Every structure is written in C-alpha cells, then in structure tokens.
Amino acid sequence: MIEYLKNPPDKTELQKILKSLGIKPSQLMRKSEGLFKEKYRGKNLSEDEWLDVLVKNPILIERPIVIKGNKAMIGRPPENVLKIL
C-alpha cells in the first residue's frame, strides 16, 4: 500500500497509473474536495494541466487506487476492487 498523501506520485508515475486505469487526469479528480471547489471548479484546463494539478495537489487524487500488475481500479465503491483481484 502506498500512502500517496505522504509519498505523492510524480508526473511519470501518475501517467502510468492513469494509463492502467484507462482514464484521463480530469476523471481522477476528487471534485467534492474543498480545494477543488475553491481553486479549480469551472476551470477549462487541458488534460496535461489537470495532470499538473494532481501532481501538485495529491489530495485531489481519487482514492483508493488498487493496482495489480498492469491493471488498476479505483476502489470506490469497494466492490470495484474485486474486478481485478
């Protein structure tokens, strides 16, 4: 288990996770987080810019993310994890 609030992924690592998830950076964003609402809601950013936002603000990364081999799944709802185990 990686606690990415304590040990955040760099841009390259986050790109690999996104590829394994099969989603774009904007889709990994925790839109209910206060920081998102205050600074980013309504912004029209490119996917690369959203990626930079996630790298700079790991609290905005949806969690938990379960990774097994080259597959990954967001663990919300928890039943999603069963799909890759």
List, in order of start, the domains of the chain with CATH numbers: 11-83 (3.40.30.10)
Averaged pLDDT, groups of 10, the chain, 85 residues long: 84 96 96 97 97 97 89 84 80
- Note the residue count of the chain: 85
Q: pTM for this structure?
A: 0.88
Beta strands in 5-84 (DSSP E): 65-68, 71-74
pLDDT at 1: 60
What's residue 4's pLDDT?
A: 84
pLDDT of 83: 80
Q: Which two three-digit tokens encode residue 40? A: 């980013």
